[in-house]
């Protein structure tokens, strides 16, 4: 079942104001959604009307609104170009959110202080080792 635009952005009902929603959509470069889809109260099945990159930016909007202390991101920017990827990582850093990312793109390195590499050989030996480096 589809959700309204505001439900999709808010995540949990009732917390942020309309101005907060508009601002966070602008912050993740989705401000055009309001004019494209009518209003925050329009109902759509996002997977059928948004590209994967737009869906990923919408997920970051929800993240920025909920402001968790720690978030685990799994391929969260895989459908984005490097410019938008960098912009979103700057947004969550500026919000004071600690993050751990799983991904295959080398562009992720510059957004992290440490890298943990786990190889197939490590997993096959069943010794649970990997390499942690700055």
**pLDDT of the chain along its 134 residues, tens only?**
566 555 555 555 557 888 999 999 999 999 998 888 877 888 888 889 999 999 999 999 999 999 999 999 999 999 999 999 999 999 999 999 999 999 888 899 899 888 887 766 655 566 656 676 77
Selection from 46, 45, 65 nearest residue 54 by Cα = 46
What per-residue confidence (pLDDT) applies to 5?
54
Q: pTM of the full predicted structure?
A: 0.77
Q: Which CATH number fits the domain that encloses residue 126?
A: 3.40.50.300
Structural domains of the chain, count: 1
The two structure tokens encoding residue 114: 């440490």
CA–CA gap between residue 87 and residue 73 (Å, rounded):
15
Backbone φ, ψ for residue 6 (5° rounding): -65, -35
What per-residue confidence (pLDDT) applies to 124?
58
What per-residue confidence (pLDDT) applies to 122?
52
**Which structural domain, as residue segments, surrounds residue 62?**
3-133
Contacts 24+ apart (CB under 8 A), 53-60: 53/79, 53/80, 53/81, 53/84, 54/30, 55/79, 56/80, 57/28, 57/29, 57/30, 57/84, 57/88, 58/8, 58/9, 58/28, 58/30, 60/28, 60/88, 60/91, 60/92
């Amino acid at each position: 079942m589809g959700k309204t635009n505001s439900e999709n952005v808010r995540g949990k009902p009732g917390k942020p104001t309309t101005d907060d929603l508009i601002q966070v959509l602008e912050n993740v470069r989705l401000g055009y959604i309001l004019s494209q889809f009518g209003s925050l109260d329009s109902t759509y099945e996002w997977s059928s009307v948004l590209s994967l990159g737009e869906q990923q930016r919408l997920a970051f909007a929800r993240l920025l609104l909920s402001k968790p202390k720690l978030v685990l991101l799994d391929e969260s920017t895989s459908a984005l170009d490097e410019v938008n990827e960098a912009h979103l990582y700057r947004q969550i850093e500026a919000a004071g959110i600690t993050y751990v990312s799983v991904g295959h793109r080398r562009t992720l390195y510059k957004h992290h202080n440490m890298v943990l590499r786990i190889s197939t050989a490590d997993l096959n030996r069943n010794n649970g080792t990997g390499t942690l480096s700055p």
